[in-house]
Chain A
């Protein structure tokens, strides 16, 4: 492909080279000739606010080399809107790009802009919205095959849930279940489940109905704990649930005791269960037992955090005094 300088399509543009400001620039990068040239054409067309087909191609070129460029994405979006492009076609370019650049934030902001624009042209009840959402969910699932803990993708997924009211959407729950079946330690998936259940506009309250849901979620986490007791995610999930319903930790004493017991100090199967047990003892004012549990954590089951466990034990003394 010829450079912009030799391309007759660009012959009317006078490129605007970068002024790097004096003899001692900081963090000067050995730019390739292609990048320097493309950027000098980008500055030239941006300065004129040109919105055209060639500008769209130029932004793709720049974004490919420097995807973190914070105004080229906004410029591209404005060009798409100004030219009344078919926005659904944007995904033909964006999707493969997203699959290649996993760590980029701007891609997801751009996607958000495009989806929002597409949705605003449709009736909320239109089946086209459902199709669009399904396609989004399918694409996110593809992204998760590359990295099931990708922060940007999960953030985007949460936006999608809220924007399109997917709180009771079967696909949403199923996607998370599927990821947890593949990796029960996927904390992002656990967090998403928590979001869908407890982050919704009418989050479950401290009612009989709410408590049915509380038990359902505790059971779900319990099943995961049985697969891998030393997995902190479901233990944290249960703590979160109890805190949401303002329930004492002692609600799950029998579960914690199954995986850690002071009577069998050599057979502890989960340091998280042992920590929980310590806090339950503290709740029950059995301070000696709490101290013993933290001793075990410090000496045997979680020695990296021995100073933390010993500090917790010291706090007990302060609390007792």
Chain B
């Protein structure tokens, strides 16, 4: 029986949940070809992130080549390269570039940015650029300078090459993807540059696992879905996941695994799925009485209305089953569901080969029925207008769920398998990896036959296959 009891409702009880693909394509075309609303000024410094989302969303929808001319794509590529930093890496946005006035005294205000570098390289690959204009050696040298003695990475280099930015796994994750793109799984020096300290990075990730099993910003901080995705996928890229998680694909490197307690991590991740979708759904308990009883004497009457948290009165079972048709993911215990966490939690589970332990259908329906917006894109929670961040992660989550109208995705890299295949086909990259396997630990491309079996969604499939070189 389906865990959500869909069959119990009988056929036709609900409309078919479907991605309004054309609406999404229109939404992203608008983001690509017209100015973003002024409200995005507050994210101006993260323009490279927005750029990646726009380009990659159209790619995942199989619509990038169809809706852009080659000269436009060349223009986008040129813009990204304009953000390349003279000393390696990429800027987050053009706003810090002093142009001809850049000098040794002011360059600290115009640094390259670690997340922007991951996003820029990814967007270039998606646009079909072979990365030949990337200052690879400088970028790898710069990346090493961003790693702290504790293993963590910062965001930028400041005055006197001081490492600026937080110590959380986001920057380590972005650094791990940059390393993967530019060096694959090569050992030792590449372009004369030694590798980052992989052992320290694994240690740093491992130390941030919390008492409840998730992974936090740093030791003893609260576990969080975004940090957990980043941390687990760092381990996939540096091949330090526990070796027994999968018997397919390239195995783990020797070295200490970076996830001390796999079982509790999985438990924490699957526990993030929730049918609490809005603040109104939160259990309405009147703590006033209970509070007075919370001292030494146990209160007599302990259960209130907890239906929303998974306990349902017998006579109300059908209704509750219906509610269970939609279940998203939250980022932390006792928070409401949010579109983006469908990607972060499922993306972490995919790396661990455990995504099938969730109610994937209920998640799919949550995205398609509850946060998909009628103008295209996704909002954060039901009823919210779409924004670029949630719209991208909503699509990426559907790609993790192998939605037939989406291209297959590399869960650890958050972009299409076509883009990864294209990267692997590049001659300079083949030379570095010497024909060896360079994919994230446990990852395998979807079989081509599977792609062929997917329902026909227009001519886009052949387009992207052509782009990736087959």
- Point out residues on A near B: beta carbons under 8 Å: 16, 18-32, 35, 39, 43, 46-49, 65-71, 74-75, 78, 105, 109, 149, 151, 154-155, 158, 181-188, 191-192, 194-195, 198-199, 223-224, 226-233, 236-237, 239-241, 243-244, 266, 268-271, 298, 301-308, 311
Contact = CB atoms under 8 A, between A and B. Distances in A.
A227 B283 CA distance: 13
A188 B332 contact: yes
Interface residues of B, number: 105
A24 B38 CA distance: 18
A236 B333 contact: yes
A305 B270 contact: yes
B42 interface: yes
A22 B306 contact: no
B42 A269 contact: no
B120 to A, nearest CB: 10
B97 interface: yes
Contact of B41 (A35, A149, A181, A239): A35
Interface stretch (B9-17, B229-237, B297-305): B297-305
B106 A47 contact: yes
Given A71-B111, A74-B164, A30 B4 contact: no
B358 A149 contact: no
Contacts of A301: 310-311
Contacts of B109: 46-47, 71, 74-75
A301 B312 CA distance: 8
B79 A304 contact: no
Which among B43, B96, B101 has the greatest number of chain A C-beta atoms within 10 A? B96
Contacts of A49: 105-106
Contact of A18 (B4, B94, B298): B94
B470 interface: no
B294 A27 contact: no
Interface stretch (B134-142, B184-192, B243-251, B284-292): B284-292
B4 A71 contact: no
Contacts of A181: 287, 291, 294
B99 A16 contact: yes
A228 B335 contact: no
B80 A304 contact: no
B36 A307 contact: no
A22 B78 contact: yes
A155 B221 contact: yes
A47 B54 CA distance: 31
A311 B263 CA distance: 12
Interface in B70-121: 72, 74-76, 78-80, 82-83, 92, 94-99, 101-103, 105-106, 108-111, 113
A226 B302 contact: yes
A47 B333 CA distance: 46
B390 interface: no
Contacts of B35: 28-30
A3 to B, nearest CB: 16
Nearest to A26: B51
A184 B287 CA distance: 8
Contact of A224 (B75, B95, B294, B357): B294
B263 to A, nearest CB: 9
Contacts of B217: 151, 155
A307 B3 contact: yes
B123 interface: yes
B406 to A, nearest CB: 22
Nearest to B101: A47
A163 to B, nearest CB: 14
Interface stretch (B59-67, B152-160, B371-379, B445-453): B152-160
A187 B155 contact: no
Contacts of A311: 357
Nearest to A225: B302
A21 B94 contact: yes
Nearest to B103: A47
B437 to A, nearest CB: 29
Given A232-B334, A233-B333, A194 B45 contact: no
B358 A109 contact: no
